Each structure stands twice: as structure tokens, then as C-alpha cells.
Amino acid sequence: MEGMSERQYAARVGLSRGAIQKAKTSGRLVLHADGSIDAAASDRRRAAVTDPAKASSRAPKPRLRPVPEAAVSAVGETLREQGLPAPSAGGAMTFLQAKTANEVLKAQERRLKLQKLKGELVDRSRATALVFRLAREERDAWINWPARVAALIAAELGVEAHAMQKILEAHVRAQLEELAEIRPEFR
């Protein structure tokens, strides 16, 4: 026998004999003329054609990439917001903590989508545009008010209408300038 038997090769690679037989019939193994298995060539062929997700659990695991510190701190912040234990700064995060934070974020996202569907949430840009439009209409109404009422007030007080309008306009403009300093913040 030039190469290995099915049992020997199965023990070498950590698979069952049945798995080796399936690999043999599907052409994933390299065989010698006598039907024995060429171990080195079969290892290369199996590595080339085997799906890594379906690889044996006994096979060496690929090296994991480190998680960025920003991601770890974001997960920690999410867990703390929910009153759950979070890793300390620079501490190792467990898979369970990361999975819990992921589930919390998914639940928050679903809650926001539901609130938007119910009409409880509005688009920030739309709300800003609406407030701006309403404030402009209010300002325009106040600017036009002295011209409409100056003659009526002047007649009641017995003063000149033009002078009354100038005084009212000055006071209204001063009030509007003061109100213009207020900036709405949508947080």
C-alpha cells in the first residue's frame, strides 16, 4: 500500500471514516493507483475545495481580528444606557455582552420605526422647515399690525395717526429683534 487507508487518513485529519468515504467518492481526495489515499495531495485538494464554514471544528481556527476600540465603547455605552453591566475601559468584552448590546440596539430601532409609523415621530428637517415658516408668518403679521391699528389707537387717544404708527413700528421691531435671538433646538 503506497498511501494511507481510509481509517488512517480519517484519524489524521480528525474526520469520521464516513466523511472520508464521501470525500473519496466526490473526488475531493487524491488516490494512488492501488486505491490508497495520498495524504499530502489530498490535504491540499480538500483545503482548496472545502467550504470554510463547513470545515471540521477540530481544524485550526482562523486568527480573529481585533475589535476597534470605538466599537467596544459604543457597545459599553449602549449596555450602560440600559442599566446592564458593561466592560470597563480597556477591559475585554464578552460575546454575550456584544450580543446583548446588538439586541438592545435592534429593539430600539424597531421602537423608533413603530413610533414613526404611528405618527409619534416626525422628520427633523420637516419640523425645522415648519417652525421656520410659522415664525416668518408670525413676524410678517406683527410687522403689518402697526399700520392696521395705528389710526384706531390714535383716534381713541386723540393723537396724530402717523406719529402713533411710527412709535408702534419702533416698539414692534425692537420686540421682534429680541425674539429673533431665540433659536429653536431639535434634539
C-alpha span between 9 and 42 (Å, rounded): 10
Read off the amino acid at residue 45. Answer: R
C-alpha span between 4 and 6 (Å, rounded): 7
C-alpha span between 136 and 130 (Å, rounded): 10
Would you list the domain boundaries of the chain?
A: 6-54, 69-118, 124-180
| Residues 117 and 170 sit within 8 Å (Cβ to Cβ) | no
pLDDT digits (tens, 9 = 90+) for 168-178: 999 999 999 99
The x, y and z cell numbers of residue 169, run together, are 413700528
Task: Specify which residues 37 forms β-bridges with.
Answer: 4, 31
What dihedral do alpha carbons 132, 138, 144, 146 form, nearest 10°? -140
Cα 122 versus chain centre, distance: 19
C-alpha span between 149 and 140 (Å, rounded): 15
Residue by residue, pLDDT tens for the chain (187 residues) are 788 999 999 999 989 999 999 989 988 899 999 989 999 999 988 888 776 666 655 555 556 666 667 777 777 777 778 787 776 665 666 777 777 778 888 888 898 888 888 888 888 888 888 988 998 999 999 999 999 999 999 999 999 999 999 999 999 999 999 988 887 776 6
